[in-house]
Chain A
Amino acid sequence: MTDTPEQSGVPLALAPALTLADMSFLVFLAAILMAVVWLGRIAYLEGVKTEVTKASGEAWVQWFTEASPKRFTPGFEPSSCAGGASPAGTNGKSAGSDAGASVNPVPERLWEGCLESLMKDVEPIAGLRNPFSGKPLMFAAKCDTDDRSLVGAMVLEKLTPTPPGSAVAYTTSSLVGADIIERKLQLRVTVCDKGAYPIRIAEVEF
């Protein structure tokens, strides 16, 4: 085994100057580190976009939670999202699609009208945008990793309880414009992340 200078008592020599290879290595190392920092920043910004998407979902959850107990009281705004029997003319569409619809002239409140009002008038929901595309928030039936256009989209699902004794407690279906919202609804809010994978935000009563 070779003696170290300390062990052998050899006088300590001056450190040799850096060679061209040493300096090249240091420059390369600095470049690599800068690249890692740059890529890390990109990953961070992508992460921030996911956080913004989650915040959008949370804003929706908050609005649903706050609106849920109030919307069955008179004077709830926006009126298109109010619960209970709707007064005539509140919604543009009639409730029934069958022949009996002509018998009942009172139109029912639909999610379509509520969504339109929310996206137009109710803050902060009205100002929410998809951070990945920069466009207004988009709604999807479900997050699909094969469809990159769904990145940053929001998924609202309706949870319908199944009869007692069923294998599953409830079934899920996408909340669509034609859904009647006059009764209480159990909703699940999900957003799609940067890979269009679902991030479940919460289940709320509306």
Chain B
Amino acid sequence: MAESESDNWIKEAILAYESQLLRYALHFVRDPNQARDIVQDTFLQLCRNSKPELQERMPQWLYTVCRNRAIDVIRKESRVKQMPEIENQGAALEPAAQAPLPCQAIEASEAASGLMEQIATLPDRQQEVLRLKFHGGLSYKEIAEIMELTSTNVGFILHTAISKLRQQMVQPS
């Protein structure tokens, strides 16, 4: 029984954080295959840990490991960050099973593509905080732990990013 639980909690973690971590890793390496490798390494490290140690801080642990691994990859390869097309990234990756309706997808993609482009113009740190907050659903404290910042700093970065996006969203209209 305990074995099956141990087996399940890792599977559950993989299912729950796979996509988020892939997007998060993609933010660093800009290469879907490298992002997959990073997330794979992250989960492999998860397998080497016990559930009681990570039970209460699973998200920040996963994001922290993923972030460190991504930074290692960047340092190792001394990659120069390039900004590929967001759509291309999505096309290169396998879509999820549950896709939205076509009309919703069109509207959402139009709005999202514009806003995502604006997000892509933000500094890396602001992008990362936005992703951790809105995509990862993490709190300031968890984000601060992952990025090795203070909660106040996280709030300020997030506020600055949202303010910039608000201005950019207002200007076209």
Real binding pair: no
